[in-house]
Amino acid sequence: MASVDAAQALLRPAADGTLIAHPVGTRVNSPANDDRSLIEPVEEA
């Protein structure tokens, strides 16, 4: 049980301004696609 408590102590929300959200293409929906282009921003439709 101590390892669970230790792990939970590490889990915290990200600091404000740390994470950035942007739209991505529909290719992210398929596990067959696995390349860096999946995280490139796309224009919103």
The DSSP code sequence of 1-45 is -HHHHHHHHH--PPPTTS-------GGGG-TT--SGGGGS-----
Q: Tokens 């995280």 — which residue?
A: 39
Predicted confidence band of residue 44 (pLDDT cuts 50, 70, 90): confident
Per-residue confidence (pLDDT) for residue 29, from 0 to 100: 94
Per-residue confidence (pLDDT) for residue 2, from 0 to 100: 76
State yes or no: pLDDT of 22 exceeds 80. Answer: yes
- Long-range residue pairs from 31-40, CB within 8 A, at least 24 positions apart, any chain: none
Per-residue confidence (pLDDT) for residue 1, from 0 to 100: 62
Prediction pTM value: 0.49
